[in-house]
Amino acid sequence: MTFTEHESIESAAQKPILEAIGLSKHFGIEAGLFQRRKPPVQAVNEVSLSVRRGETLALVGESGSGKSTLGRLLLNLLNPTSGDVIYEGRNLANLSPEKLRQVRRELQIIFQDPFASLNPRMTVDSIVGEPIWLHSDASRSDRQARVAELLRTVGLAPEHAGRHPHEFSGGQRQRIGIARALASEPRLILGDEPVSALDVSVQAQVVNLLEDLKHRFGLTLVIVAHGLAVIRHMSDRVAVMYLGEIVELSPVNELFESPLHPYTQALMAAVPVSHPDLRHPRPLLGGDMPSPRRPPSGCRFHTRCPHARPLCKEVKPPFVAVDAERQVACHYWREIANAGAGTLVVPTPSAAYTQRLNLFKSHQALSLESQP
Ligand code: SF4
């Protein structure tokens, strides 16, 4: 699909804040004088994608699908092998170092492991205050006041400013990471698996915090996640990645109601359910992901796809528009969807189970309401 076609799919009213155009990142291209030249690792391959202003876009896929690399390319933390990143209509490759510094301030990241991403020798005051010190000429007292305000914003007490990261729990450390990201007044935040290193009980609190901050500060969020369960309640659209390419792009509700690509369907089958009656009838994804150094010919998913046919091995499926909002890269998506294989077949639960489920939901709602 050409970029012009890609553009026409995007609603004119929802002008993108960030765009990737034919973005590729191949690692290990250079070889030493006496080294045998190995094929490069194709971490991201020819990805075109728009991030709309104010939305939460999730990048989902197994480990090695290229989602984190794509996130870092979007934030200009990695240089692309080819392709462009356009932020607010400006090509990042053409910006001067000074302009790029300003843009980097507006594009922030929250890392997966809050302990590894915070300097253990620095106090919270220095960690959160550093971006303010770097990007503004605020006085020391103004900076301290701003740090206190940011700590309150993420649910921490200003008195914690003098402590070190090891004195906090995992959830609190992630809140410090969020406060630091907010310190430079960003417009877009990339969450690189922001809750996967946290206890399940704390994950919901951090997800709720990100949602709240998004609405309060008009942020755009890009969330990288390896499972669909986490992003269901916090994203507007989902881009599913396999072996460095986007195979399906869809609004989140449509994706969960009727996943079109066989890979999305397999990911969906892996979402944990709360009762055996709701278990998914489809088998989980088998086999390992092929090496990104030697990706399969044609459709990269054909070595694991239960619907693969000879054409899939020969011809790469185009990333076609299913409707104004959805795109998929599969030769047979229509057939698979019409045959019902693309829909989630959930057996009707028993009346007793429904009653227990409703009871559980009401308890859950009560406990969430009582959370600070
Ligand atoms: Fe499966 Fe073929 Fe579709 Fe690829 S193009 S997902 S191999 S059916």
pLDDT tens digits, one per residue of 108-163: 999 887 778 888 999 999 999 998 888 778 888 899 999 999 999 999 999 989 99
In ligand 1, the atom with minimum distance to the C-alpha of 306 is 1
Percent of the chain clearing pLDDT 70 (strictly above): 80
Give me the chain's average pLDDT, please: 83
Render pLDDT for 66-83 as a digit per residue (tens, 0 to 9): 999 999 999 999 999 999
Residue-level pLDDT at 65 = 92
- Write phi, then psi, for 176 (nearest 5 degrees): -65, -40
Which conformational region is residue 325 in: left (phi greater than 0), alpha (psi within -120 to 50 degrees), or beta? alpha
- Is there a contact between 155 and 372 (Cβ–Cβ < 8 Å)? yes
**CB within 8 Å of 327: residues ≥ 6 apart:** 9, 246, 248, 249, 250, 319, 320, 321
In ligand 1, the atom with minimum distance to the C-alpha of 305 is 1
Residue-level pLDDT at 116 = 81
Residue-level pLDDT at 153 = 92
Residue-level pLDDT at 207 = 86
Pocket test for ligand 1, best of 285, 297, 301 (most atoms within 8 A of CB): 301
Å from CA of 302 to ligand 1 middle:
6
- Give the dihedral of Cα atoms 359, 206, 107, 246; nearest 10 deg: -50
Residue-level pLDDT at 208 = 85
The encoded tokens of residue 233 equal: 């309640």
**CB within 8 Å of 158: residues ≥ 6 apart:** 147, 148, 151, 152
- Answer yes or no: is pLDDT of 183 > 80: yes
Between 310 and 273, name the one with better pLDDT: 310
The residue nearest atom 5 of ligand 1, judged by CA position, is 330
In ligand 1, the atom with minimum distance to the C-alpha of 331 is 5
Pocket test for ligand 1, best of 285, 331, 335, 338 (most atoms within 8 A of CB): 331
Å from CA of 247 to ligand 1 middle:
10
Mean pLDDT calculated for residue range 320-342: 84
- Is there a contact between 58 and 235 (Cβ–Cβ < 8 Å)? yes
In ligand 1, the atom with minimum distance to the C-alpha of 317 is 5
- How far from the centroid of its chain's Cα atoms is residue 249's Cα? 12
Mean pLDDT calculated for residue range 77-97: 93
The residue nearest atom 3 of ligand 1, judged by CA position, is 330
In ligand 1, the atom with minimum distance to the C-alpha of 311 is 2
The encoded tokens of residue 245 equal: 């390419």
Residue-level pLDDT at 112 = 82
Pocket lined around ligand 1, Cβ cut-off 6 Å? 261-262, 299, 301-302, 305, 307-308, 312, 317, 330-332
Pocket test for ligand 1, best of 309, 319, 335, 336 (most atoms within 8 A of CB): 309
**CB within 8 Å of 363: residues ≥ 6 apart:** none
In ligand 1, the atom with minimum distance to the C-alpha of 262 is 6
Mean pLDDT calculated for residue range 206-215: 89
- How far from the centroid of its chain's Cα atoms is residue 132's Cα? 26
Q: Which of the residue ranges 14-18, 19-23, 49-53, 154-158 would you say has the lowest mean pLDDT?
A: 14-18
The encoded tokens of residue 4 equal: 């012009």
Residue-level pLDDT at 204 = 81
Percent of the chain clearing pLDDT 90 (strictly above): 52
Between 236 and 278, name the one with better pLDDT: 236
Report pTM.
Answer: 0.82
Residue-level pLDDT at 107 = 94
Residue-level pLDDT at 8 = 46
In ligand 1, the atom with minimum distance to the C-alpha of 312 is 2
Pocket test for ligand 1, best of 302, 304, 328, 335 (most atoms within 8 A of CB): 302
What is the DSSP-derived secondary structure letter of residue 295?
P
- Answer yes or no: is pLDDT of 55 > 50: yes
Å from CA of 253 to ligand 1 middle:
23
What is the DSSP-derived secondary structure letter of residue 277?
G
**CB within 8 Å of 260: residues ≥ 6 apart:** 248, 250, 322, 326, 328, 330, 333, 336, 337, 342
